[in-house]
Structure 1
Amino acid sequence: MPKTDQLSAEQRRGTIARYTAVLEGNFIYWMTGAWLAVKSDAARSKIVENLHEEVRDSHPNMMRKFAMAAGALPTTGDTMAVHQSLTDMRLFIGRLSSVRILITMAFFEGLIQRFMPYLAELAQLQGSTEMEYTDVHGVCDVTHTAELYRALEAEMLLSNEAAAAAAGVSFEGVELLRMLCENIITGSRAAVRSARKSDEAYDARLRPVHVSGNGASGVRAQA
Structure 2
Amino acid sequence: MKVHYLGTAYTSRPHEQCAAYVRQIRASHLANRKEGYVDVAYNFLVCEHRGVFEGRGVHKRTGANGTAALNTQDYAVCALLGSSGLTKPSDDMLHGIRDAIEELREHGGAGKWVGGHKDGHPTSCPGDALYDWVQRGAPRPAVTPPPPASGSGSGGKPVVDLSRLIAAAKADPPKRGTPVSYYGVKTVESALVAEGLLAREVADGHYGTATVLAYAAWQRRCGYKGGDADGKPGPASLEKLAKKRGFTVAP
Q: TM-score range by the shorter chain?
A: under 0.3
- Which fold has the larger relative contact order, with Cα–Cα distance below 8 Å and residues 6 or more apart in sequence? 1
Higher strand share: 2
Q: Report the TM-score when normalising by structure 1.
A: 0.28
Which has more radius of gyration? 2
Higher helix share: 1
Q: Report the TM-score when normalising by structure 2.
A: 0.25
